[in-house]
Amino acid sequence: MKRSIAAALLVLAACHSEASRTPAPAPTVVYGDTAKAQEPMKLPAPGTAPTPVTTSLAPIWDVPLKTLSGTSTTLAAHKGKALLVVNVASKCGLTPQYAALEALEDKYKAKGFDVIGFPCNQFGGQEPGSAEEIQSFCSATYGVTFPMMEKIEVNGAGRHPIYKVLTAINDAKGEAGDIQWNFEKFVISADGTKVTRFRPKTTPDDPAVIAAIEAALPTK
């Protein structure tokens, strides 16, 4: 009996030792209900990006901004990173693009990349909520962690100064001008000299967008 007890104790000690050497599982990434399928590792491989437009973005960096929580900031806080600037809305048929935007933020943030969201209510009145309502919706539904600014106008007489610069940039068809709808995207290179413009229906996880982001990342 003593031998069997001793043997059992040895087995338990060995199991405990093995368990202590087993690495802890990686923390689970929490996405909103709609975004659960958009894990970063499921993003497609990069394709071929359109040729970016070379331009001076000097006027945009120090324009005063406020986050959804009311904190004062500027795009200069993200200078040196590749950026994807996008006008967003909570009640649009394209709103599920938030999922892929968050997946891009999660995958590329450590490499020097940020998505910057600008809520806008100019397209079908599809961003009617308060800053608090927008923040709650984005967090609860899509698990958004990337920086979100206060609502702005991107077209017309009240066009925000940042969008006065961005809307002068051509897309892949050589067309500049007004933002067409919610979720139009501008990929800005980390050195602040190149911009690739994607129209709203080009999803954030399109291989061309991913290629543009990878080309825009800071070089080591």
**Quick one: how far is CA 172 from the chain centroid?**
21
In angstroms, the CA 148 to CA 127 distance is 13
Give the containing element (helix H, strand E) for 198.
strand 194-198
* Residues classed as catalytic: 92
- Residue 114 burial (CB count, 10 A): 19
In angstroms, the CA 50 to CA 81 distance is 20
Give the containing element (helix H, strand E) for 3.
helix 2-21
Residue carrying structure tokens 């200078």: 79
> Sign of dihedral through CA atoms 128, 133, 139, 141?
negative
In angstroms, the CA 206 to CA 45 distance is 9
Instruction: Name the CA dihedral angle for 82, 89, 70, 133, rounded to a multiple of 10 degrees.
Output: -140
In angstroms, the CA 159 to CA 81 distance is 25
